Chains A and B, each alone.
Chain A
Amino acid sequence: MASRRSRSAQATSSRITDEQIADLLAKLQALLPEHRIRSADRVSAAEVLQDACNHIRSLQREVDGLSGRLAQLLAMTDSSNAQAAVIRSLLK
């Protein structure tokens, strides 16, 4: 039974329920690499958010590093090689 929470705070056109939030958190958690490590199914929301932050930061660092490597590789090769490489990776 719904608690006596004031509905005015949630009086948007769609009610955000705790289950919806838990569902979104679960979906987010499934994307994180720590998901495989943390076998406990009751992970706190704070942990999921923190793991998501860490994951995003590491992904952005990877983009950084890969951009640098691509910059070096582009300098060494000509564009037709790069295009062929991308098409090859597309076909994989």
Chain B
Amino acid sequence: WRAPPGTRTLTPRFGPSKPMLAFRFLRALTLVHRTAANSSNAARSRRIQRAAFASMAYSAGPRRAWSRALLCRLHFHRARRRCAGRRRAAGVPRRPSTTGSPADGLRRLVPGGTGMDYCGLLEETADYIRCLSEQVKLMQSIVDSVGPGGR
């Protein structure tokens, strides 16, 4: 998975395919619906949020540092949850931004950002923003379709 250090290819801009993103997210939503039907709204909401980031990361695949970092975090949290029984919404950076250069702030927001050099950070940020926007659009259109008046 790890790209050899020092490779700086400005990767061609092919993002995750939208149908794949939708498919993964739908599958995750169905699973949440089936298994968490009796949970609280908050618990389901956390699972859906986790599913959103998971779909994003899986669709982007291992070619991006942010998606690799997200996938590691998701797997790590899942393993920890089984042991400790604690529930946390994985995949979402929770630390509030403190003072520091804007680049540091960005490093805290973009998964895997702390290990990146400046150029890598800029590339990964652009890709992350693109994928986040797609995810938001997808979720919004689902809400619009399922919601009242969406038959």
A residues at B contact (CB < 8 Å): 12-14, 16, 20-21, 24-25, 27-28, 31-32, 46, 49-50, 52-53, 55-57, 59-60, 62-64, 66-75, 77, 79, 81-86, 88-90, 92
Contacts and interface: CB of A to CB of B under 8 A. Distances in A.
Contacts of B97: 53, 57
A84 B30 CA distance: 12
Interface residues of B, number: 58
Interface of B: 6-8, 10, 18-19, 22, 25-26, 29-30, 32-34, 37, 41-42, 44-46, 48-49, 52-53, 92-93, 97, 101-103, 105-106, 109-110, 118-119, 122-123, 125-126, 128-130, 132-133, 135-136, 138-147, 150
A13 B8 contact: yes
Given A24-B126, A31-B130, A82-B142, A72 B6 contact: no
A14 B129 CA distance: 25
A66 B143 contact: yes
Nearest to A85: B145
Given A14-B8, A53-B106, A79-B34, A86 B133 contact: no
A52 B129 contact: yes
Tell me the dominant secondary structure on chain A's binding face: helix
A53 B146 contact: no
B48 A67 contact: yes
Contacts of A55: 129
Given A13-B6, A70-B48, A70-B139, A56 B146 contact: no
B99 to A, nearest CB: 13
Contact of A70 (B10, B110, B129, B143): B143
8 contacts: A56-B128, A56-B129, A62-B136, A70-B143, A74-B32, A74-B44, A74-B48, A86-B29
Nearest to A15: B8
- Pick the most buried of A53, A55, A64, A82: most chain B CB atoms within 10 A of its CB: A53
